[in-house]
Structure formats: C-alpha cells, structure tokens
A and B are shown apart, each in its own frame.
Chain A
Amino acid sequence: MGRLIVSAQMTMDSVMDQLDGWFDPDTESEEHGVEELRAAQAVILGRETYEALSAYWPARDGAYAELINPIPKFVASRTLEEPLTWNARLLGADPAEAVAALKEQHRGHLLSYGCGELANHLARRGLVDEVRFWLHPVVWGDGVRPFHAGELPMRMRLIAATTFTAGVVRLSYQPLDH
C-alpha cells in the first residue's frame, strides 16, 4: 500500500506561487526536494500545476529535472484530453477512486505537488497520508495559499517538525478524518 504525500514549498505567509520571486537556492531546499522526489514512484497533479510544471521542466537540466521529467504522472482534469505530454496520464472521471487504486498498486510514495483543489479533495476523502509544508524564511505578500480551493477548514495533527539549519522548516502533518 503506497503512501500519498502532499508536498508544498511556501513562504512564511503561506504563498506557494511566484517561486521565481522568493525561492532562494542558498537555503539548500533544492537538495531536499531532489531527495523527496527520488523516494517517489509517481507524481499526482491537478491540471493547473501540471500545465505550469510541464511548460517549465522539460527544457531544464540538473538533478531535479532528471528525476521530474521521466517519472510517471497522473493528472486530474475535467477539460484535458489524452494523450498528455511529460509522461502523464489522466486520472479519469473520479480522481479519488483512481488515486485509491494507485495507492493499492504502489508500495512506495506517491507525491503530489500543487496543494490546491485536488489535494483538498483527496485529503477530505482520507487518501492523503502526509502533508508537508516547507516554510522558507521570507514574507512575500499576496499569492496562492495551500488548499485554496475546496471545503475548509481542514484539521490536521502535527507528526514531525524538521529544522534545516540553512533556513527552511518542514512541518509534517496527518490530515484528520472529516
């Protein structure tokens, strides 16, 4: 049985987008992101995140690009049609059911980026085993916040706090039943 991990990089004020503006590679978190991805067997994305990442990563190189480009991806969308690029397939009409089946088929980690509508949907159905917030030491201002689309509030239990002395703090949570 695989574990589904929702992972999101963000500022101290919970801004997840505009990474170009606030992401500072000197905080070493790129290396942690590489390790996190290396441990994953597939990536699960909402349409918006899929479109943003698949437009960016295929033209890049480096350790992260070498992992993210070939890894199998599954995308939730009401509008896209197959075939998709970037080694991606659609999750189908019922993403929660499809993700439950993927968890049955895998023994390792399934990693989900984006932390938007899809993550909210999956968490509320008890399919998310761990939520990781990677907090970067910067306050940014307006932006897209985690679990921004869908029903709120969502309560969680803190299972670990990891301090990387270069500046990033990673908070690991387990969503509670809803």
Chain B
Amino acid sequence: MASSVLYMSMSLDGYIAGPNDEPANPGGDGFGRLHEWISTPDGEYGRPDGPAGELFDEWNATGAVLAGRRTVEQVDHWGGGNHDGVPIFVPSHRPPGPSVANYPLVTYVSDGIESAMAQAKAAAGERDVVVHGGYTAQRALEAGVLDEVQIHQVPVLFGSGRRLFDVLPSRVELEIVRVIDTPEATHIRYRVRR
C-alpha cells in the first residue's frame, strides 16, 4: 500500500526556507545550505554515496507527486515532469495558469486536498506519493492524509525564515520509524499517528 510522505530538509530550529523567500529568490537567503547533503562525491548536486544515496533513491522511486501551488509555480511545474515523469497533483481552488495546458502530467484538483491525495495515491499504485511544499504538508496533516514525514535535519540554526510547522490547529503525535545519522545530516523518518 502506498504511503504519502513529506520529504523536507530542515534546520535544527525548524526552518525550511531562509528570509526573503519569494519567486525571484526561491527558498530565500541561504537556502542552499539545507541541501548541501545532496552532493555527489565530487561535490556536485546529485546522488550522494552511502546511506544518504538510499534516501535519494527512495525519493526518486515515487509513484506520484502532491505539490502545493506556490511550490509548483515557483518552478513552473518542473517543466511538466518531476521524479522521472510521474503524475503531479496540485490542490488549488483557483484555476491553473496558462502553462499547465502544455503539461499532461499536471492535474489541478479543485475539490480539496483529500480528493487530490486520493487521486495521487490511485495514480501511484504500489509506490509512495511524495508531498512537496510546507503549506500543503500542513493541510495534508490537518486533513489526516499525510502518512509519513521524512525530515533531513541539517546541523545549522537559521534563526529566521519560514518554518515547516509553525501553526497547526491541534497536536499531532508522531512515531519514529528510522534514524539515519550521518555527518552531513540526521535523517529521521516519522509515521503520523491517528
């Protein structure tokens, strides 16, 4: 059975974006620091060796993507495909922008996040659904459709920026499933209790 999983690189103080996060500066100031762990042995962005590489593979083996509108518009829907060209579902009450007509894998879902997740899981089959975007992850948690959270906890204190779970309407209990401890980051996988 497919799980819906949020993958997020995060500073120890909970930031997933630096200050001045806007379309011209996606992720805000200093955002790259959160993704330095995704480096090849040559120091390029890409699949790391060792256990961090397995995380990279897990993330790429996804069957569908559920992504927030802000996230997809910042990168223009990844040019229509992401994660090896799997379907992308975007929960949004507003109609999509004009570029989406060119992207057959991108579906805007206007009747709520539960519906968007149900469609993503159906498209993913046995594989997992990767959730992109902080706001969308919060809505998915509230709606009870987020199954797991994979945090890449980076040893840095941002001090300011945008936090992942700033305001939630109620407490959410999590269960630790796996901890991968490396010098570059501590990767903690949680299951959401319901």
Contacts and interface: CB of A to CB of B under 8 A. Distances in A.
A binds B: yes
B179 to A, nearest CB: 4
A165 B178 contact: yes
A130 B51 CA distance: 10
A164 interface: yes
A111 to B, nearest CB: 13
Main secondary structure of the interface of A (DSSP, over half): strand
A165 B179 CA distance: 8
Contacts of B50: 130, 159-160, 172, 174
A69 B180 CA distance: 30
Contacts of B176: 165
A160 B49 contact: no
Given A3-B49, A129-B49, A172-B50, A161 B57 contact: no
A160 B177 contact: no
Interface in A98-132: 129-130
B45 to A, nearest CB: 18
A79 interface: no
A172 B179 contact: no
Nearest to A132: B51
A104 B177 CA distance: 36
A164 B178 contact: yes
B52 interface: yes
Interface in B136-181: 175-181
Contacts of B178: 162-165
Q: Which interface class (under 10, 10 to 19, 20 to 34, 35 or more) fits B?
A: 10 to 19
B182 interface: yes
Among B49, B51, B52, the most chain A Cβ lie within 10 Å of the Cβ of B51
A162 B179 CA distance: 5
Nearest to A39: B57
A39 B51 CA distance: 12
A39 B49 contact: no
B177 A161 contact: no
Contacts of A174: 50
B74 to A, nearest CB: 32
B136 to A, nearest CB: 27
A160 B57 contact: no
Contacts of A130: 49-50
Contacts of A165: 175-179
Among B50, B52, B57, B177, the most chain A Cβ lie within 10 Å of the Cβ of B50
Nearest to B54: A39
Interface in A157-178: 159-165, 170, 172, 174
A165 B57 CA distance: 21
24 contacts: A3-B49, A35-B54, A39-B57, A130-B50, A159-B50, A159-B51, A159-B182, A160-B50, A160-B52, A160-B182, A161-B180, A161-B181, A162-B51, A162-B178, A162-B179, A162-B180, A163-B178, A163-B179, A163-B181, A164-B178, A165-B175, A165-B177, A170-B51, A172-B50
Interface of B: 49-52, 54, 57, 175-183
Interface of A: 3, 35, 39, 129-130, 159-165, 170, 172, 174
Q: Which 5 A-B pairs have the closest CB atoms?
A: A160-B51, A163-B179, A160-B182, A162-B180, A161-B181
